[in-house]
Amino acid sequence: MSIEIIKKEAFEFLKKLEKNNNREWFTENKNTFKAHETDAKAFYNAVMENLNKHDQIEKLKIFRIYRDVRFSKDKTPYKAHFAGSFSRMGLERRGGYYLRIKPGETFLAAGFWEPNKEDLLRIRKELELDASEFRAVIDKKSFKSVWGELQGDAVKTAPKGFDKEHPDIDLLRHKQFIFVRNFTDKEVLAKDFIIQVDHSFKAIRPYFDLMSSILTTNLNGESLID
């Protein structure tokens, strides 16, 4: 288990950036930012190293500090947080991991943020046919103790072509199938934070295994990949 920590100084910098989110202040403090960014990258790479001991990660994407303000009402130029996503390798491994580090708002997320229309329909068709296995996975005590309830955007009534009176309409309404775990600043700055991150990502695996099985087969259970 690689041990990297989030330093208190990094949190203090992000707090100052939140209060001074302008190009002048950032330019003056860019060298400090670069030092904290280097540490953050080392942390994310250590998370990926740990993930690869029990999963296979194809890509780590660490998001840039600069915000795209072209179509946003919020014109502040910088993100006062670090964020990165981890993509699983191969067609047979579905789902993705995400970690955002921000004072007061650090969280992990895992699952399916924006499934394409084919995947979304396949998931809904599976749940329409039989949602018992899906519920068994997400309702298991050991799973819920880490990840809580299923989250994500949903339609208001029922997706087109689905019965609004279906007994599993609460699941069928979902457009996203994600789980989120929040952390306090004290937890993030603790020496075992990276261990807690890895423990959480391990705990999502039964969900990923089920969803991968669904998304790589048709309703008859026949494989869709070679």
Residue-wise pLDDT tens digits, 115-135: 999 999 999 999 999 999 999
Residue 1: pLDDT above 60? no
What is the reported pLDDT for 72? 81
Location of structure tokens 């920590």 = 5
3 pLDDT more than 80: no
Q: What pLDDT is stored for residue 108 in this prediction?
A: 98
- The answer to whether the beta carbons of residues 3 and 194 sit under 8 Å apart is yes
- Integer Cα distance of 172 and 167 in angstroms: 10
Backbone angles phi, psi at 22, to 5 degrees: -150, 160
Instruction: Provide the pLDDT for residue 71.
Output: 81
Sign of CA dihedral 54, 88, 218, 205: positive
Using one digit for the tens of pLDDT, what is the confidence trace for 154-194?
999 999 999 999 999 999 999 999 999 999 999 999 999 99
What pLDDT does residue 184 have?
98
Q: Which residues contact 17 (CB under 8 A, 6 or more apart)?
A: 25, 26, 29, 33, 78, 80
pLDDT at residue 69 in the model: 81
pLDDT of residue 73: 83
CB distance 152 to 177 below 8 Å: yes
Instruction: Give the angle subtended at the CA of 170 by the CAs of 169 and 175, to the nearest 5°.
Output: 95
**Above 60 in pLDDT, residue 2?**
no
Q: Is the pLDDT of residue 226 over 80?
A: no
**3-class state of residue 27 by DSSP:** helix
